[in-house]
Every structure is written in C-alpha cells, then in structure tokens.
A = this chain, B = another copy of it.
C-alpha cells in the first residue's frame, strides 16, 4: 500500500518530474523528418540539444519571440527559416510566407513588427526570374505588414546541395505588452481560433501533385498584426496568443496546456474546417487539427470576455470566421481533451511522426 503524498511531497515529486522531462534525450542517432514536424520529436530535439546548450532566461520560455530590453526599449526578436516545397503554391510563395511568418511571430508575442532581415540560400541553377518573383512577393508582404527589410545575406551552394531556395527571416519589434503569454492561461478561460484551420498545409500537399485531388483551396498565409492589434485594444482579458503553423492548432493547444499546467478542453464540432480541407485530410488519413495554418491565431482569453473577443475577431477581415473552440479547466493538467463530434472524448497529444514535411 502506497501512502498518498502530502501537498508538499507532491510539489517535490512534480519538480523532479519536471526536471526529468527537462533532461530530454534524443534517442535517434540521426536527424529524421519528425525532428522538423513541430511535434514531439522537434520538442525533444529543442530541449535536449538547443535549450541544453544555450540555456538562458530569455530562451527558456521557448516563446514565438524572445523579449528583452535594450537601453530602455522593450523589444521582441524572432527567427524562422523557410524550406517550403514547392516554393510556389496557390495563395503565395516562399517569399510572402517568410515575411508573414516572422511578422506573425512578433505580433502574437505582443510586439509591433518593425524590421526584418532576409537570408537567402540559393542553389546554383535557380532561375533568376523565380528569385525576382519571390523577392517581389516579399516586398509586397513587407509593405502590407508595415515592416522594412533592412539587411540581408545571400549564399549560393552547388547544384544538388539545396532545394532551389531557402529563406531565413529574423524580425525585431517593439514590445507593446509584456504580460502576454499562453502560460498565464487559467481555468475558466476561453480558447478561440481566428479562422478555418489547416488550409496552408493541405494547399501545399495538393500543390505537390502527388495526390490526384483537385480542390479549390489557397494557403491562408497572411500577416496577422492588425488582427492582433485590434484584439488587444478591444479585449483587455486576452491572456496570450500563438500562431498555429507547423503542428497545427493541436500543437498550440498542447503548448497552452503544458505551459500553464492546465487542461484544455475543445469541442470538435466548433472548430472551423473548410469542406475541402476536411475531405483532403480524410483522404490523407490525417487530422486537420495537426495541419499547418499560416494566418490563423489561437487566442486564450478571460472566459467573461469570450464573446467580446469573438466579435472583435469577426469584425476584422482576417477573423471573419473566428470561433470559440474550447475552454481551460483545472484537470487533467497538461492535457488536451477533445469532445468529438460523435460524442466521445479523446486526448489530443503532440504529433509523433511527420505526415506533412516541409510545409513552411
């Protein structure tokens, strides 16, 4: 018979458990595609390799952007590399994706996006015309988001040593709100998504032409900074936001549950999914909850202001189809539960493999 631990003992056990989880270990000897999925393997790699080596208080929260103060100015800094394949797809290309993605990471961190860097890795033989198209999309995306691309770098690798064009963008923003973060989610909060999910990921899959599916679908790539800023000015009860990219909304919900040590309970029937996305997902045998978006945010808000948040999102063109998809509860902490359309309840865990590589 085991004695039930006291509160204090439980705290100690929790701390040990946390420490054990922290000392994550990559079991594989080599990098696999799963390490890039945004799911479990990515998280283990980040914790066991990057966090372990670089460990510092600014990196530790593993937020979409790091925040710090320089000479009195509160700043946010973020980076993302883009390796999407194919480079051109319905609704966008690697160029606007690279600008919007970094703008969005700054925006959901509560920062006003200002300046971007652009680093290109080009493969020998890449058509200059394609490069011009990409760069012009970046120009337009930057103008739409009100940011300037102020510095850059170009490397060329030999034919066969890369896949046409990779782009890295880093972004600096002025931090307007320091109190935001999904780790502040608490029981009673509501969870919203700003629009239909999975459109970017499914669009990319279809653009690869490996499936014989024709669907009237375009990527949702868009800069969410103005959507975020109207939300923040109208709804004081916003706790935190994330943009759902790799790993989809399911990954964000797990991040919320783990960061705040709360339960996230979601109603499947309330999650907006376009018929085309649902259909293609079924054919692919994947859950749209795990499919990348590039212009959708997940918002945690004080439950009492859920309708206000919903109305505010819906009043913006990018949030017209926003929905309240769930709520935060006390138990079971760290888990995401989904009430399915069929009346059951299941745990939504982090992605283990990578059914959709190179989505962004």
Interface residues of A (CB under 8 A from B): 26, 28-36, 42, 45-46, 49-50, 53-54, 56, 58-59, 63, 65-66, 68, 70-75, 77-83, 85, 114-115, 117-129, 131-132, 135-136, 138-139, 142, 148-158, 160-163, 166, 168, 170, 172, 174, 354, 357-358
Kindly provide the distance from the CB of A37 to the nearest chain B CB, expressed in whole angstroms: 8
- The complex places the Cα of A198 from the Cα of B174 at a distance, in Å, of 40
Oligomeric state, in copies: 2
Set B74, B129, B170: member contacting A117, Cβ < 8 A: B170
Measured CA separation A131–B45 after assembly (Å): 10
Choose from B35, B58, B162 the contact partner of A148 (Cβ within 8 Å).
B58
What CA separation (Å) do A157 and B85 show in the bound complex?
9
Q: B79 to A142, Cβ gap below 8 A?
A: no
Among the listed B35, B153, B174, which residue makes an inter-chain contact with A122, where contact means beta carbons less than 8 Å apart?
A: B35
**Nearest Cβ on chain B to A24's Cβ, whole angstroms:** 12
Alpha-carbon separation in the docked complex, A74 to B138 (Å): 26
> Are A125 and B78 in contact, CB atoms less than 8 angstroms apart?
no
- Whole-angstrom distance between the alpha carbons of A29 and B65 in the complex? 38
Q: Per a CB cutoff under 8 Å, which of B63, B81, B129, B153 touches A80? A: B153
A155 contact set on B, CB distance < 8 A: 36, 81-83, 358
Question: Which residues of chain B come closer than 8 Å to A72, judged between CB atoms?
Answer: 71-73
Cβ contacts under 8 Å, A66 to chain B: 115, 117, 150-151
Interface of A is mostly: mixed
Contact residues in B for A131 (Cβ distance below 8 Å): 31, 49
A150 CA to B160 CA in the complex, in Å? 32
Measured CB to CB, the closest approach of chain B to A149, in angstroms, equals 4
How far, in angstroms, from A28 to B125 measured CA to CA in the complex? 10
* A-B interface, 9 closest residue pairs, ranked by CB to CB distance from nearest: A36-B156, A170-B170, A73-B73, A79-B117, A66-B150, A168-B168, A71-B73, A58-B150, A66-B151
In the bound assembly, the distance between CA atoms of A204 and B160 in angstroms comes to 20
Q: What are 15 A-B residue pairs whose CB atoms fall within 8 Å in the complex?
A: A29-B127, A31-B126, A36-B156, A42-B154, A53-B136, A53-B138, A54-B135, A54-B152, A56-B148, A66-B115, A68-B150, A70-B172, A156-B354, A158-B357, A158-B358
Taking the nearest CB of chain B, how far is it from the CB of A154, in angstroms?
A: 6
B149 to A56, Cβ gap below 8 A? Answer: yes
In the complex, the chain B residue whose C-beta lies closest to that of A112 is B70
A49-B128, A129-B29 known; A36 vs B151 contact (CB < 8 Å): no
A163 to B166, CA, bound (A): 13
Central interface residue in A29, A135, A154, by most chain B CB within 10 Å: A154
Closest CB-CB distance, A147 to chain B, in whole Å? 10
Interface contact A33-B81, CB-CB below 8 Å: no
Give the shortest distance, in Å, between A180 (CB) and chain B (any CB).
16
Q: How far, in whole Å, are A251 and B259 apart by their CA atoms in the complex?
A: 49
Residues of chain B within 8 A (CB-CB) of A49 are 128, 131-132, 135
